[in-house]
């Protein structure tokens, strides 16, 4: 299997990934269900896990944090999401450059709306066991760092923030028993704080459109521009990194698919019809 280890090589490998016959790959599922939205399949995540806590207190029964990130087709030709990941089985996802048919209702036609979303999952083992966990949940016993690359070149320029420890967010929240698509989304800051106190799983699906504010590294992101973007997620316990994962999203020029001969004949016919109409208009 061809592995494109650096970002510069990934950009060069992107085109070959589009035309090469798919190789066998190990696509990882997150341990818990995918609890955001509906109809979202598990699998094709790039995953890492780590333990945390004091072994002197907990012995070998340490809580486990699991981080997963993937990219997915958010807008197909009908502006609908699909469980299409274009995953190489390692850490790279490939999508066409270009804009969706209309995009999000709050930003129709925006050049900052990619046809792909990135999706993340943060799961933690809810073993309280004396951990210094806020409100008795191991989810917010940790801190996190999400890094979003806004540089389409071989370099990186990250927007960085903790996606969990916020005053308010619209994540799907739950635990190991939460069914697929059954995550709870807070309606306000108070409910979000309360849900964090009883949740050990958080997930969301985001588009770069949500982060292209002025003055940020994603301010000038243009979904029409081919490039390579790095997205990283890391978890910390008492300031020490315990798990980290990252993906590369290769954005390539859209494939040019030859039109069947009948199609060209149809276009020629329509063009001739339009020309005839223009001539009739001039002589009328």
For the chain, the structural domain boundaries read 7-259
Q: Would the pLDDT of 46 be above 70?
A: yes
Angle, CA of 3, 33 and 248, to the nearest 5°: 25
Compare 206 and 139 and report the one with higher pLDDT. Answer: 206
Q: What is the pLDDT of residues 157-196, one digit of tens each?
A: 999 999 999 999 999 999 888 999 999 999 999 999 989 8
* pLDDT score, position 59: 75
The predicted model scores a pTM of 0.79
Question: How many angstroms separate the CA atoms of 237 and 52, rounded?
Answer: 7
Q: What is the pLDDT of residues 110-167, one digit of tens each?
A: 999 999 999 999 998 755 444 444 444 568 889 999 999 999 999 999 999 999 999 9
How are strands ordered across the β-sheet holding 201-206? Answer: 46-51, 64-73, 116-124, 201-206, 172-174
């Amino acid at each position: 299997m061809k592995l494109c280890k650096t970002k510069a090589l990934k950009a060069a490998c992107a085109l070959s990934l589009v035309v090469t016959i798919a190789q066998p790959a190990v696509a990882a599922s997150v341990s818990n269900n995918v609890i955001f939205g509906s109809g979202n399949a598990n699998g094709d995540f790039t995953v890492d896990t780590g333990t945390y806590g004091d072994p002197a207190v907990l012995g070998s029964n340490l809580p486990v944090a699991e981080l997963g990130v993937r990219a997915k087709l958010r807008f197909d030709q009908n502006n609908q999401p699909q469980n299409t990941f274009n995953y190489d089985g390692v850490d790279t996802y490939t999508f066409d450059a270009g804009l969706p048919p209309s995009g999000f209702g709050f930003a129709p036609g925006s050049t900052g709306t990619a046809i792909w979303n990135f999706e993340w999952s943060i799961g933690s083992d809810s073993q309280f066991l004396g951990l210094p966990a806020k409100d008795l949940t191991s989810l917010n016993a940790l801190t996190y760092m999400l890094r979003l690359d806004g540089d389409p070149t071989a370099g990186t320029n990250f927007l960085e923030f903790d996606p969990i420890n916020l005053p308010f967010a619209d994540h799907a929240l739950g635990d190991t028993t939460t069914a697929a698509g059954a995550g709870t989304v807070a309606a306000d800051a108070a409910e979000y704080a309360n849900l964090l106190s009883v949740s050990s799983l958080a997930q969301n699906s985001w588009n770069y459109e949500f982060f292209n504010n002025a003055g940020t590294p994603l301010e000038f992101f243009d979904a029409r521009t081919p490039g390579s973007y790095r997205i990283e997620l890391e978890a910390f316990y008492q300031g020490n990194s315990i798990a980290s994962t990252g993906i590369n999203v290769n954005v390539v020029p859209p494939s040019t698919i030859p039109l069947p001969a009948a199609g060209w004949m149809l276009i020629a016919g329509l063009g001739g019809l339009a020309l005839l109409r223009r001539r009739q208009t001039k002589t009328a």
